[in-house]
């Protein structure tokens, strides 16, 4: 893949807009991963209120929750954010050949409203690589 084509092969999905989020449970819109190899999830946090916490993970479903219920993607939790570790950035990776077609972010905020944002970058299969991976987990 030529460097100048790099931006055309990725899909950027705004999962949770950078903003102040209220306490409670929040779900993102469905993310259709068909045709993509991996998803890189990035979370940034601002201030988390006193006694507050932010816990975000990803759910998956084969049909977007219509007939196949959403289930938690194993090991897809970001570190739980509290006032002790807020104002930080976090990164996660999911290989999509091991996942169902649709993903969504699932956030639980407790204590106080908190500032955060989450984006996902989807990378397609790249058949032009000349060097194979030694491993991919």
Q: Contact at 8 Å (CB) between 56 and 72? A: no
Q: Which domains, from first to last, does the chain contain? A: 10-124 (2.60.120.1110)
pLDDT digits (tens, 9 = 90+) for 22-47: 999 999 999 999 999 999 999 999 99
pLDDT digits (tens, 9 = 90+) for 84-93: 999 999 999 9
Q: What is the per-residue pLDDT for 4?
A: 44
Q: Contact at 8 Å (CB) between 33 and 101? A: yes
pLDDT digits (tens, 9 = 90+) for 58-82: 999 999 999 999 999 999 999 999 9
Q: Is the pLDDT of residue 48 over 60?
A: yes
Supply the pTM of this predicted model: 0.85
């Amino acid at each position: 893949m030529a460097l100048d084509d790099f931006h055309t092969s990725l899909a950027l999905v705004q999962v949770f807009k950078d903003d102040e989020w209220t306490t409670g449970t929040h779900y993102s819109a469905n993310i259709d991963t068909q045709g993509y190899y991996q998803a890189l999830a990035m979370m940034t946090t601002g201030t988390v209120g006193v006694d507050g916490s932010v816990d975000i993970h990803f759910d998956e479903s084969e049909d977007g929750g219509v007939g196949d219920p959403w289930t938690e993607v194993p090991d897809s939790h970001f570190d739980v954010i509290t006032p002790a570790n807020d104002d930080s950035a976090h990164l996660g990776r999911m290989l999509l050949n091991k996942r169902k077609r649709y993903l969504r972010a699932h956030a639980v905020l407790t204590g106080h409203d908190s500032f955060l944002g989450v984006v996902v970058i989807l990378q397609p299969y790249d058949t032009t690589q000349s060097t194979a991976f030694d491993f991919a987990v």
